Amino acid sequence: MKKIGCAILGSGNIGTDLMLKLLEVPSHLEPLLVVGVDAESEGLALARQRGIASTHEGIDRAVMLAEWAQIKLVFDATSAGAHAHHHEVCMVEGKQMIDLTPAAIGPYCVPVVNMDSYLNQNNVNMVSCGGQATIPIVYAVRRVSEHLPYAEIVASVASRSAGPGTRANIDEFTETTARGIEVVGGADKGKAIIVLNPAEPPMMMRDTVYTLSSGAEPEQIEDSVQAMVAEVQDYVPGYQLKQAVQFERFGSNDKLRIPGLGEFEGIKSTIFLEVAGAGHYLPTYAGNLDIMTSAALATAERIAQQKFGAGA
């Protein structure tokens, strides 16, 4: 079976989880190089233990290694600030990029919604963990509705699963996720909130999605949401609804007034989600990591087959 050589930029939580997925989940992808900036990081140590080439001197050193020539696809699991330089280097070197940072230089990609539209793009962005968990649901409401003027998501993750990269990118997370809700999810206006929950024992990733829509009945919305959950479960088995979708109707004599948006008539839907991780690197409560790396892996696998002829 033809394998496509991959590099991972970033040896933190997300990069390490992705490395182990590439090693353990059947695919046409082969991790050949892990790049970090901390010589003592656990991710680089695990890469060495698994026989994967590594460097702690960043991408500028990575391009000098023999393995670099064999790499066609690069995952960036660093930070929004670092991604700009990584993008420049990889475009010069002719490498395909899967961006797991909130930098969003490339188009937003949510596998179950729009992956097929961007298989020929040289850099695709995975939005954020909250975006991967909630944008499919926003889209599920939009695809059966005539209008979706507003969608808001609240992503609550265990504090233990939020590493320094996540904490340094909170602003970018909220901005990128909100924009993804609009561009990919189809809402006229999107809003995103993230909560780092310090509870002990750590809680699973929980996401709440609120939508205001018109032109679809509750039964249509619920059926669409249920179908979308099943689609996401194809690559994130721990993704599930926590309870039945809740609905509230606003009529012409009981309009909802929203600051900055005006009056609304239609249906408010509230969807509660939980994401349990597969436990490749961190415990199952780290569903926020798992859904990002799983979405990136699903996207990379399709690109490997479509663009590079993997498996042919």
129 catalytic, yes or no?
yes
Dihedral Cα 57, 75, 80, 204, nearest 10 deg: -110
Beta strand 266-275 with 246-250 is antiparallel
CA distance 291 to 301: 15
Q: Which of 124, 142, 130, 224 is nearest to 189 (CA)?
A: 142
In order of 96, 123, 217, the CA distances from 148 in angstroms are: 34, 29, 13
Element (H, E) at 247: strand 246-250
Looking at domain 129-284, its CATH class is alpha beta
Domain boundaries, the chain: 4-126+291-308, 129-284
Active-site residue identified among 6, 90, 109, 129: 129
Residue 163: predicted pLDDT: 75
Angle at 100 between CA 308 and CA 152, to 5 degrees: 125
**Single-letter amino acid, residue 308:** F
CA distance 106 to 86: 13
CA distance 183 to 113: 11
Tokens encoding 28: 């046409």
Q: Give 4-126+291-308's CATH code, choosing from 3.40.50.720, 3.30.1370.60, 1.10.3720.10, 1.20.1250.20.
A: 3.40.50.720
Q: What is the pLDDT of residues 40-65, one digit of tens each?
A: 999 999 999 999 999 999 999 999 99
By three-state DSSP, how is residue 292 classified?
Answer: helix
Cis geometry, peptide bond prior to residue 107 (ω within 30 degrees of 0): no
Whole-prediction pTM value? 0.94
Q: What is the pLDDT of residues 118-128, one digit of tens each?
A: 999 999 999 99
Residue 167: predicted pLDDT: 84
Q: What is the pLDDT of residues 82-140, one digit of tens each?
A: 999 999 999 999 999 999 998 889 999 999 999 999 999 999 999 999 999 999 999 99
Residues of the chain with pLDDT under 50: none
* Contact call for residues 33 and 67 (beta carbons, < 8 A): yes
Q: Which of 311, 309, 302 is nearest to 118 (CA)?
A: 302
Mean pLDDT score across all residues of the chain:
95
Tokens encoding 255: 């309009």
DSSP assignment, residue 232?
A: H
